Amino acid sequence: MTQIVTDTLKILSESDKEACETARITANEPISNKKRLFIESYGCQMNFSDSEIVASVMKEAGFATTSDVNDADLIFLNTCAIRDNAEQKVRIRLQHLNAIKRRKPGLLIGVLGCMAERLKTKLLEEEKMVDIVTGPDAYRDLPRLVEEAETGQKAVNVFLSREETYADISPIRLNSNGITAMISIMRGCDNMCSFCVVPYTRGRERSRDPESIVAEARQLFDQGYREVTLLGQNVDSYKWTAENGSEKDNSVNFAQLLERVALVHPDLRVRFSTSHPKDITDQVLYTIKRYDNICNYIHLPAQSGNSRVLELMNRTYDRAWYLERIDRIRAILGEDCGISHDMIAGFCSETEAEHQDSLSLMEYVKFDFGYMFVYSERPGTPAAKKYKDDIDPETKQRRLTEIISVQRRLSLERNQRAIGKVHRVLIEGTSKKSAEQFSGRNDQNKVIVFPKENYQVGTYVNVLVTECTSATLKGHAV
């Protein structure tokens, strides 16, 4: 799961507002005489990127987006199935939307994305909550499915493709600040982590051709965007080989793709997410070092600090391997390279000593921030079939609280390293807390706020950091 959360401490917990359960909605297009589409997206960056593809497909079918659900003729919920809480929130939302539908009989409701395949029968036939169910690889089929639903039929397509990458579709940028954008470089996942539903909801891994990725990055830069994030469930395993070509002469790996995007323009910042500890190579790290516009920031999920638990999770690396990759990152990119993580508290049979291993791994790495969860058993996953979810909720929550406490301290310590230094910041918009301040991020993906003065959104500015919290750096332009 890949997320960017700005302006708040990047920690996910039961008590905090979780990014995977926070919705983003479509913008309001000032277009009359068209049917109106409302998309509400939950989950990771891949989901938000997919919603931009859906908006593009439906625009060609004659729909304009709306930000008012009551104004919609067609409502899509793009769903997340990674945790039970996310699914329950979507179910509650569907009950609310069905109340609107009773007042507006022609309204159609569709569920897209990761919940679609798993719950299609329940949603369509048993609970009769939706008209359309579409999986992540079937978005080209949405106009036909909508037409089918308009006749009163239940419309469903959850086919998972081995080829679909949507490379030829120009996404409509939703909720865009006009400065930063996401580019999907691959779809699906071949890493069968025992706790994860993604391989079953998004299918097998396939990479998009590099020319279309570079062309999209170039087009975004020409439109005024100054930062792109290359997205994949595991970007390090990106590999594209030309048809009828030999791998030696016609293949492109992730390090080579990263370089091609960086060469679009020196003022186009490049980020990527998510990396996998088993696949991130020194070649990738040296490519980051070679280009100033590739950000010194890596999201490297750990999930646990204990080798036995990692084996149960089928992560295909152990604690020593993970720490060796961290050591290489520090050796090649320096101590200031930003590193974030995912961590699961209370996985099946995790002992107290193994939980302490996760805390000690955090202390060794000194992560800048993290995404932290209690283990949530997902039906159909290998872990649900093979292992007993035997850690009681109170213990899970206590362990999560301890993980969060360590991360808060580490985040503050890492941010304090930035004080007294000048950072190049891309201005993304006005700070949420003050209309007199701008907000942007530095190379290490840290949010920095500073007085607006006469600077403009979408430009780079050098900011001297003078103070910080565990979530935010503060300073002034120099």
Binding-site sequence positions for [4Fe-4S] cluster: 44, 80, 114, 189, 193, 196
Residue type, 247: E
What's the rounded Cα separation, in Å, for the pair 306 and 360? 10
CA distances to 105, 261, 277 from 289, rounded to whole Å, are 57, 15, 18
CA distances to 54, 284, 329, 411 from 332, rounded to whole Å, are 40, 10, 5, 22
State the CB neighbour count (10 A cutoff) for residue 413.
Answer: 12
- 3-class DSSP string for 386-436: HCCCCCCHHHHHHHHHHHHHHHHHHHHHHHHCCCCCEEEEEEEEECCCCCC
Token pair, residue 360, equals 């000690």
Token pair, residue 443, equals 């190379």
**Which residue's structure tokens are 């950091």?**
465
DSSP H stretches of helix in 193-333: 198-202, 210-222, 247-250, 254-262, 282-290, 307-312, 319-333
Q: What is the 8-class DSSP label of residue 159?
A: P
Neighbouring C-alpha atoms within 13 Å toward the C-beta of 36: 19
